[in-house]
A and B are shown apart, each in its own frame.
Chain A
Amino acid sequence: MSKTEIQSIQGLIVEEDIPLTLEELCQACCAPQEHVVAWVVEGVLEPLGETPQDWRFTGASLHRARLALWLTRDLEINLPGVALALDLLDEIAALQAHQQRVGSR
């Protein structure tokens, strides 16, 4: 480990400022394009726009796509399995959000 340099930078909020194209999403989550297309067809990701050229993904897709890639590549889960796992994780997140709302009583 050598030099240290300090830079000050301003980030952009992906979710609000930058809709990602298919190519940008693939680059950002290091996933091959055919995976991302398959996830959209299966309903794992829901971009705006009709054709792959017009697709625009939100920042939430970035997190989902990275998770889908891990499930696909490392756990070797097939497409319907990935969709199911993500739906179940969504449900857990919704339950946890509900728990947060009502508090610990």
Chain B
Amino acid sequence: MKFKDYYEVFGVPRDATQDDIKRAYRKLARKYHPDVSKDPESDVRFKELGEAYAVLKDPEKRAAYDQVGSQWKAGQDFQPPPDWDAGFEFSGRDFGSGADPGHSDFFEALFGRQARGGQRPGMHARGQDHHAKVLIDLEDAFRGAQRSISLRMPVPDEHGRIALRERKLDVRIPKGIRAGQHLRLAGQGDPGLGEGPPGDLFLEIEFKPHAQFRVVGPDVYLDLPLAPWEAALGCSLTVPTPEGSVQLTVPAGSAAGRQLRLKGKGIPGKIPGDLYAVLAIALPPAVSESEKAAYRAMAEAFDFNARAPMKG
């Protein structure tokens, strides 16, 4: 296990005040929150921030961490000394927010036991619910899919010490799932305390970016470039959908930006989404003499002023 320097995460010195730490956390958390940030690494970064903050914001945990941490540098191999936390009384007021499967082995080794508030005999409580994100392909939402996910669960051993155990779950992702929806896996969260039932696991679904399709809720959008004559005269084309190709009729006189709807060809469901082909006009370059002649003939044939809508 590598030692983690929580001060380095925030870029603050070891003698930073609680206010400095709070400020540094807030600034970075605003930057890296997955709902706000466009950075693909933001998820990892945000978890790291949350873990460091869980320790440093709490004066008791921070004091304990400082005591054990003063001899180590980030990345060094680390084993907590036996009884490293003797003399510290964790009040456990963070119970509920401290036990996070996103926390590192390092965090769990130091604070895992306290974060769960200890296993008091005779205490029964439902285990905590957990959240995780799963990236799937858009095609999976059309067909359904089986995804294997790895979870790290803190499990107490017979001495009450916490060890992380890896668990693999084969999750069947139902056809018709949309980005932003959650799957609930009953009983797959933290084990309950005493005879309490286990918590649930919530998986938030996200689509991997697709080279061809964009997704908005249940609807799928596709850019469809047309030659000027195809848009002007109309045509019949084969267009791709996530379920295979379909035949699409482009009506004559179609302008760029026009959206042609293929009803029910979006993500399936009780009310299936639609597929929209968003038309774009691709202008062929005039390179050869005959190509240039064709453009000149168009200029002759049309009484067309492209700047007619401009005033003055």
- On whether the beta carbons of A103 and B183 are closer than 8 Å, the reply is no
Is A28 engaged at the interface, CB distance under 8 Å to the other chain? yes
Known: A13-B177, A74-B25, A75-B26. Contact between A30 and B164, CB under 8 A?
Answer: no
In the complex, what's the smallest C-beta–C-beta distance from A3 to chain B, in angstroms?
6
Q: Bound complex: CA of A73 vs CA of B96, how far in Å?
A: 13
- On whether the beta carbons of B129 and A30 are closer than 8 Å, the reply is yes
Known: A7-B169, A9-B170, A14-B202. Contact between A97 and B216, CB under 8 A?
Answer: yes
- Chain B residues within 8 Å of A6, by CB: 148, 168-170
- On whether the beta carbons of A100 and B215 are closer than 8 Å, the reply is yes
Given known contacts A11-B185, A11-B203, what 7 new A-B pairs fall within 8 Å (CB)?
A4-B166, A8-B171, A14-B181, A16-B181, A28-B202, A101-B276, A103-B280
Tell me the count of chain A residues lying within 8 A, CB to CB, of chain B.
39
Mask: chain B, 254-272; 1 = CB below 8 Å from A; 0 = not: 0011010000000001100
Q: Bound complex: CA of A67 vs CA of B172, how far in Å?
A: 27
Is B124 engaged at the interface, CB distance under 8 Å to the other chain? no
B residues in contact (CB < 8 Å) with A: 25-26, 29-30, 33, 35-36, 50, 53, 96-97, 105, 126, 128-129, 131, 146, 148, 152, 163-174, 176-178, 180-186, 188, 199-200, 202-204, 214-217, 221, 223, 256-257, 259, 269-270, 276, 278, 280
Is A41 engaged at the interface, CB distance under 8 Å to the other chain? no
Partner of B163, one of A2, A10, A11, A14: A2
In the complex, what's the smallest C-beta–C-beta distance from B121 to chain A, in angstroms?
24
Partner of B183, one of A11, A28, A75, A105: A11
Interface centre among A67, A102, A103 (most CB of B within 10 A): A103
- On whether the beta carbons of B29 and A75 are closer than 8 Å, the reply is yes
Q: Which 5 A-B pairs have the closest CB atoms?
A: A11-B183, A8-B170, A14-B182, A100-B214, A15-B181
Q: Bound complex: CA of A104 vs CA of B181, how far in Å?
A: 26
Chain A, Cβ-Cβ closest to B185: A11
Known: A11-B173, A59-B181. Contact between A5 and B202, CB under 8 A?
Answer: no
In the complex, what's the smallest C-beta–C-beta distance from B138 to chain A, in angstroms?
13
Is A27 engaged at the interface, CB distance under 8 Å to the other chain? yes
Known: A9-B169, A28-B200. Contact between A14 and B183, CB under 8 A?
Answer: yes
- On whether the beta carbons of B182 and A62 are closer than 8 Å, the reply is yes
Q: Bound complex: CA of A51 vs CA of B131, how far in Å?
A: 28
- On whether the beta carbons of A102 and B203 are closer than 8 Å, the reply is no
- Chain A residues within 8 Å of B202, by CB: 14, 28, 62
In the complex, what's the smallest C-beta–C-beta distance from B295 to chain A, in angstroms?
23
Chain B, Cβ-Cβ closest to A77: B26
Partner of A28, one of B30, B129, B165: B129
Partner of A1, one of B152, B180, B182: B152
Mask: chain A, 63-98; 1 = CB below 8 Å from B; 0 = not: 100110010011100000000000001000000010
Q: Bound complex: CA of A74 vs CA of B52, how far in Å?
A: 13
- On whether the beta carbons of B33 and A70 are closer than 8 Å, the reply is yes
- On whether the beta carbons of B216 and A60 are closer than 8 Å, the reply is no
Q: Bound complex: CA of A55 vs CA of B199, how far in Å?
A: 21
Known: A9-B188, A14-B183, A101-B216. Contact between A1 and B170, CB under 8 A?
Answer: no
Interchain Cβ contacts under 8 Å between A and B, 25 examples? A1-B166, A2-B166, A5-B167, A5-B168, A6-B168, A6-B170, A7-B170, A8-B146, A8-B172, A9-B185, A9-B188, A11-B171, A12-B184, A13-B177, A13-B181, A28-B200, A28-B202, A30-B97, A63-B204, A74-B25, A74-B29, A75-B26, A89-B36, A100-B221, A103-B214
Q: Bound complex: CA of A16 vs CA of B271, how far in Å?
A: 11
